[in-house]
A = this chain, B = another copy of it.
Amino acid sequence: MSIRDNVRKMKEVSPVVASLPVSVRDAALREIAEALSEHREEVFAANREDLDRAHRDGIADSVMKRLKFDEHKLSDCLAGINSLLALPDPVGKLTLKRELDEELILERVTVPIGVIGIIFEARPDALVQISCLCIKSGNCAVLKGGRETASTNKVLFDLIRDAAQKAGIPEGSLLQASAHSEIDELLKCDDCVDLLIPRGSNAFVRYIMDHTKIPVMGHSDGVCHTYVDEHADPDMAIPILIDAKTQYTAACNATETLLVHRSIADVFLPKAAKALAGNGVKLRGSAEAAEILKNSSSGTGTDSACIAGDDIMAGDDFRKEYLDLVLSVKLVDSVEEAAAHINRYGSHHTDCIITDDDSAAGQFMSLVDSAGVYRNCSTRFADGFRYGFGAEVGISTGKLHARGPVGLEGLVTYKYRLHGHGQIVGDYASGRKSFHFRELL
């Protein structure tokens, strides 16, 4: 059967899945945890096959690390399932209850979104995490994992699907796509897939966004900023900057651009450059920043000064996401200018101000139009686990529905229920009756 036929069937079964009590959904999570534990050796064996093939194909070490599924990754997955079990049911929450008139009660209640397509590159542990989030939130899911871990994905998916069905999740509510051609087929299912969540490289996510009418939740770029204000404590700023840039350079929440208030640049920039250079970070700056670094580099003994000449940064250069030990640098005159730069060249992901001044912090956090606005801490905190969401399906830089790290709450929508006793609109239009709107919640 084609993906399209399968997804259409899934769409039909999705209201049944959405109506399952949380006891069944939680039981499915417990069965999955048990199955993964019990069959760990099968999973590891499949993963070794994938790793061997990847090795033969000459895949880079940094990627290899992401392909691995070992005892350590398994225990992370099991811990994730346990924290999902501990979280309250996101479905069926009453968020509004209003008496419109005598015996005419309006309710708004959270419900699962329905059918979610998840397309991700590499990371077999993401398959476990994302399917469990979908099950807990009462959604059906079509999963398409990366080719590099096809064997691991297959074993994991079969275990998850069988365990879920054993607990009473209907057949056909979890589906794995394996052929690459199925991605394009899935992108065309806008009449039966409610939401797509792509996870992978910028180019990959952008391709998905550009080739479907299905709403897409996620992000392509992650151009995060750290702005060091004139009232910043440099002893706080430098460790934060080093963490934000180097703790995991390939992450979307790593800082890519350092903005510094002009009034402190002469002193702060050389100091920061030295510390960053000590951590292997190369700076690329605006003409002015480069000048300061050049003049100071002999004095500080750092070789991290910007490359001068053609390599001076300007305009759209500041849109660059390095995902590497490189950092853009620019000077600004005010919080407003910092915010304007971030709003223009950033990706609305996560941006931070380092300052001791409450008013500057308030202004920055209000003016910066990003999912996360931070004060005095590392941009690397933007993550579902660190926010206490238990797990995340991804981070959204869109402004609609869910923003920032997306956990269970981002996987539900709501419906309005209206309970009447024969009321008709004609009576209200004619003035024979009128609404009185009384909150019952």
Task: Give the oligomeric copy count.
Answer: 2
Contact B381 A425 (CB under 8 A): yes
* CB <8 Å contact, B18 and A399: no
* Min CB gap A336→B, angstroms: 9
Does A424 touch B at the CB level, under 8 Å?
yes
Whether A90 sits at the interface, judged by CB under 8 Å, is no
Report A395-413 CB contacts with B as 1/0, cut-off 8 Å.
0001111011100000001
Q: Which residues of the other chain, B, contact A400 by a CB distance below 8 angstroms?
A: 113, 194-195, 215, 217, 400-401, 413
Name the B residues within 8 Å of A435 (CB-CB). 386, 388
- Closest chain B CB from A21 CB (angstroms): 11
Q: Is the CB of A367 within 8 A of B15?
A: yes
Known: A104-B377, A215-B215, A386-B425. 15 other contacts (CB 8 A): A12-B343, A100-B388, A114-B369, A210-B213, A236-B421, A371-B416, A372-B416, A373-B416, A376-B423, A377-B420, A378-B423, A380-B425, A381-B423, A386-B428, A401-B401
Contacting A417 at CB < 8 Å: which of B247, B374, B401, B426? Answer: B374
Whether A437 sits at the interface, judged by CB under 8 Å, is: yes
Asked if A175 is an interface residue, CB under 8 A from chain B, the answer is no
Shortest beta-carbon distance, A239 to chain B, in Å?
Answer: 6
Q: Which residues of B contact A100 (CB under 8 A)?
A: 381, 386-388
A369 with B15: in contact, given A413-B400, A425-B378 (CB under 8 Å)?
Answer: yes
Contacting residues, chain B, for A422 (C-beta < 8 A): 233, 236, 239-240, 376-377
Interface residue ranges, A against B (CB under 8 Å): 11-12, 14-16, 18-19, 98, 100, 104, 106, 113-114, 194-195, 209-210, 213, 215, 217, 233, 236, 239-240, 242-244, 247-248, 339-340, 343-344, 365-378, 380-382, 386-388, 398-401, 403-405, 413-426, 428-429, 435, 437
A374 neighbours in B (Cβ, 8 Å): 417-420
Complex CA distance for A421 and B358, rounded to whole angstroms:
12
Closest approach, in angstroms, between the C-beta of A313 and any C-beta of chain B?
Answer: 21
Complex contact A368–B15 (CB within 8 A): yes
User: What residue in chain B is nearest A377 (Cβ atoms)?
Assistant: B420
Give me 26 A-to-B residue pairs in the complex whose CB atoms sit less than 8 angstroms apart, sorted by A's number: A12-B343, A12-B344, A14-B369, A15-B367, A195-B400, A210-B213, A217-B400, A233-B422, A236-B422, A240-B422, A247-B425, A373-B415, A373-B416, A373-B418, A374-B419, A375-B419, A375-B420, A377-B418, A377-B421, A378-B420, A378-B425, A386-B425, A388-B435, A399-B413, A401-B401, A404-B415
- B12:A340 contact, CB within 8 angstroms: yes
What residue of chain B has the Cβ atom nearest to residue A370's Cβ?
A: B415
Question: Cβ of A413: which chain B residues have Cβ within 8 Å of it?
Answer: 399-400, 403
Is the beta-carbon distance between A416 and B398 smaller than 8 angstroms? no
Q: Which residue of B lies closest to A243 (CB)?
A: B424
A236 contacts across to B, CB distance below 8 A: 421-422
A335 CB to closest chain B CB (Å) equals 11
Residues of B within 8 A of A371 (CB): 415-416
Residues of B near A416 (CB, < 8 A) are 371-373, 382, 387, 403-405
Contact of A399 among B114, B369, B419 (CB under 8 A): B114
Give min CB distance, A184 to chain B, whole Å.
Answer: 18
Tell me the complex Cα distance, A247–B405, Å: 45
Q: Are B195 and A106 closer than 8 Å at their CB atoms?
A: no
Report whether A15 and B399 are in contact in the complex, using a CB–CB cutoff of 8 Å.
no
> Is there an interface contact between B418 and A372, defined as CB atoms closer than 8 Å?
yes
Residues in B with CB closer than 8 Å to A399 are 113-114, 194-195, 413
Shortest beta-carbon contacts, A-B, top 7: A377-B420, A243-B424, A380-B425, A400-B401, A388-B437, A401-B401, A236-B422
